Homo-oligomer: A and B are copies of this chain.
């Protein structure tokens, strides 16, 4: 019995309401995303109720990240999710020993996946750079405001309890 065949605790299989609550999206959104082909419940119950596994939960948060952090439309998210990642290729390789794919085909799949991956990575770096520039600009404004504050404090009589932005994830 490998780790992949471990028994599922009942805590790991979630109905849609539970998944919704834990991921912070509504059930309507989950069904809508399913309609668009973004997610699919790992199983169903007799009456047709959707059942989700932790892997599905990870997918949901990933979709939200792509949407909110990167500003992707759901169509763009679909493309990103559709390109197989290392996990998927790993699964294919181990379970079926690459099935009936020719060596050239395997290579093509890998190259394709790697290129899509690097493309997303490049976009992430670009976005990071732009936001970082924006941040620096904003930090400069903060400093200028602090200067004005000092200037005022010099002629003021009130106690100065103003603190600068000393926190934050550095760099």
Range of interface residues on A (Cβ < 8 Å): 35 or more
A90 sits at the interface (CB 8 A): yes
Chain B positions within 8 Å of A104 at CB level: 158
**Minimal beta-carbon separation of A111 from chain B (angstroms):** 7
Main secondary structure of the interface of A (DSSP, over half): helix
Stretch from A7-15, A43-51, A138-146 at the B interface:
A138-146
Q: Residues of B contacting A85 with CB < 8 Å?
A: 141, 145
Within 8 Å CB of A124, what residues of B?
A: 131, 134-135, 138
Residue of A89, A131, A139, A146 ringed by the most chain B CB atoms within 10 A: A131
Interface residues of A (CB under 8 A from B): 65, 68-71, 85-86, 89-90, 93, 103-104, 106-107, 110-111, 113-114, 117-118, 120-122, 124-132, 134-135, 138-139, 141-142, 144-149, 152, 155-158, 162, 165, 167-169, 171
Closest 10 CB pairs of A and B: A86-B144, A125-B168, A124-B135, A129-B169, A114-B145, A118-B165, A86-B145, A121-B138, A117-B142, A86-B141
| Chain A to chain B contacts (Cβ below 8 Å), 29 pairs | A65-B134, A68-B71, A69-B71, A69-B127, A69-B131, A70-B131, A71-B71, A86-B145, A89-B148, A90-B148, A103-B156, A103-B157, A107-B156, A107-B158, A110-B148, A113-B145, A114-B149, A114-B162, A117-B138, A118-B165, A121-B139, A121-B142, A121-B168, A122-B165, A124-B131, A125-B168, A128-B131, A128-B132, A128-B135
